[in-house]
Amino acid sequence: MSPETLELLLRYSAAGSLALIVVLALRGWLRRRCGAQVAYAAWLLVPATLLAMSLPVPAPLRALAPLAVGLQLTPLQGAATATVASAFDPRPWLLVLWLAGVLLALAWFVRQQRRYLRSLGRLRAHTDARVLQSESTFVGPALVGALRPRIVLPADFEQRYAPSERALILAHERVHLGRGDAWVNALVVALRSLNWFNPLLHYAAGRFQLDQELACDAAVIDRFPEARRRYADAMLKVQLAGQSRQELRLPVGCRWPSDRTLKERILMLKQPRPSRSMRRLGLGLVAGVTLACAWTAWANQPSQPASSSAGASYVAASYRALAPPTYPSAALAQRTVGTMFVRASIDSEGRVSAAVLDHADPATAAGALGDAAVSAVKSWTFEPARRAGKAVASEALVPVRFALGNDDAAAASPLPSDALDVITVRGDAKH
């Protein structure tokens, strides 16, 4: 994996975090006014935003994207000095750190899943092919697994719950099963592993699971509107089954949450069902905000790479580490300014194998400033060009602007379309 992978991850993480903030801000109001199922639907905003970032943006919409900010080397003192870019590139090390965190996070979730599965003991078939019964009285009811999710009931399910309560609990788990919530939770585990460094995502995962349960409760009550009291009694019995069950985590699946969320779930049962118009209003609001966030993420992507004639994706070379160019003293004395365009040959490691002066603007400044620009570019390191994800040798046109003080007159000249960002070296205007 290349260092660019880390930059891509950070862009996705930032966009996802902004989407999470929007959902966290809306979910409470949506649940109170429009119902728990609308609040749960609002979480679709996050994957929609991330998916939008993966779609290509037509060239006419590039005006909506942020303008690329070129690196400008500015003087530290009156003489011809410039800011030095560090030759050390920390991105490969950060990439290794990220990969180590991903593996540790996955190992932690796998450990939690296996611990929960071990607590089930031997499973035996129930009357329904999608329902199994555990040997333990402290585990379940739960929906376990993602590829082949199964409803798992505690060993004393028939003895602990009345027939009406059993029907409500099974209805709750079948809502999870029908909506694919176990698969969704597996996706959440994958996102948390990839973004282990993002505390907002871990916090939001807990809020998401609560909204998932509240939406499931609302679906059961919609089906059995007269059973609110019996449903609350079933919740209490599940919570009183034993604290050891509550301590176990089930990353991939759906289990009844701990007693910390029981109050919110019971309070939700007491709320009147939102009117159809309010639910439609809430869904319309969710759809509008989702489209707005997805559009913003889509239109504000970084510039997409051009395509080679063979059709393979191509990413041009870019700057990595720049040593400060030196403003020639003779040019300073004669107050010579201009932009030197250096044609650099860059190998697949990002090193400059050759550099020549392509042209100068104005042409009369080439003799005074050309050699300094070429010498500086030869010492620089670039991010190599990539074709289909593989580093390849390439050429780049590097503009090096020599200016006096704050005089940016040379900036008025348009740059060739294939030129990189301008590197500016400033000299003392009073020299």
Give the model confidence (pLDDT) of 141-190 as tens digits: 999 988 889 999 998 899 989 999 999 999 999 999 999 999 999 999 99
Per-residue pLDDT of 139-153, as tens digits, reads: 779 999 888 899 999
Closest CA to 356 of 367, 342, 369: 342
Q: How far apart are CA 178 and CA 184, in angstroms?
A: 12
pLDDT at 430: 58
Among 108-117, 240-249, 344-353, name the one with the lowest average pLDDT.
240-249
In angstroms, what is the C-alpha Rg of the chain?
Answer: 30
Domain ranges of the chain: 3-299, 315-427
Report whether the peptide linkage leading into residue 272 is cis, meaning its omega lies within 30 degrees of zero.
no
- Strand segments, DSSP code E, in 88-138 are 124-125, 131-133
Question: Nearest-5° angle of CA 218, CA 224, CA 229?
Answer: 85
Phi, psi of 54 (to 5 degrees): -90, -10
Mean pLDDT value of segment 296-310: 59
Give the Cβ contact number of residue 188 at 10 Å: 20
Q: With 80 as the cut, is the pLDDT of residue 129 above it?
A: no
Give the Cβ contact number of residue 331 at 10 Å: 21
Choose between 216 and 239: higher pLDDT.
216
Q: Which two tokens stand for residue 87?
A: 């030759």
Per-residue pLDDT of 39-54, as tens digits, reads: 999 999 999 999 998 8
Q: Per CATH, which fold does 315-427 belong to?
A: TolA/TonB C-terminal domain (3.30.2420)
Give the Cβ contact number of residue 310 at 10 Å: 8
Rounded to two decimals, the pTM is 0.66
Q: How far apart are CA 382 and CA 317, in angstroms?
A: 6
What's the chain's average pLDDT?
A: 83
